[in-house]
Amino acid sequence: MITLSYPNDGAGGVITLPEDLAWPDEFDWSPVAAAEQRTLSGALIIHHSTRQSGRPITLASQGASWFPRAQVQALQALLEAVAPMTLDIHGRPFEVTWRRAGNAQPLEATPVYRLADPDGTHPYLITLRFQEI
């Protein structure tokens, strides 16, 4: 199960996301950072440190997971949230916020097929971009 829990005026709320969303950047992040520098003699010095946060988490339909328009609208309303949210991916909880840096769009939603006046059940393909905090 994949869920997104968010604060909502103290009451909170939960949005259940499609089970089969792909996590394409799951292994693109390392918890260890390194910086290299050379001494005057040419020796290499490598400094290692543990990253405290900042892991990007992208969840995407990738053509398979359909999400109803009403839920897309609920996610869109959450784009105003600045408080931390809890993203639970199959039992692995992450404290996240929307990833907005650069030109990243935190939410992309594309209808599976076009309708002039879609209702709340109309299917969409989604991409969600979070950043662990």
CATH number of the structural domain spanning residue 9: 2.40.30
Residue 63 clears pLDDT 90, i.e. is over it: no
Rounded Cα–Cα distance for residues 57 and 97 (Å): 10
Rounded Cα–Cα distance for residues 107 and 10 (Å): 24
Q: Where are the beta strands (DSSP E) in the chain?
A: 2-6, 13-17, 32-38, 44-50, 56-60, 67-68, 85-89, 92-98, 107-111, 123-132
Q: Can you give the residue range of the structural domain that contains 35?
A: 2-132
Reduce the DSSP state of residue 49 to 3 states and report it.
strand
Q: Are strands 92-98 and 44-50 parallel, antiparallel or unpaired?
A: unpaired
**pLDDT band (50, 70, 90) for residue 32:** confident
Give me the number of domains the chain comprises. Answer: 1
Average pLDDT, the chain: 90
Rounded Cα–Cα distance for residues 28 and 66 (Å): 25
**pLDDT band (50, 70, 90) for residue 57:** very high
Q: What is the pLDDT of residue 11?
A: 64
In this predicted model, which residue has the larger pLDDT, 20 or 33?
Answer: 20
Model confidence over 108-132: pLDDT tens digits?
999 999 999 899 999 999 999 999 9
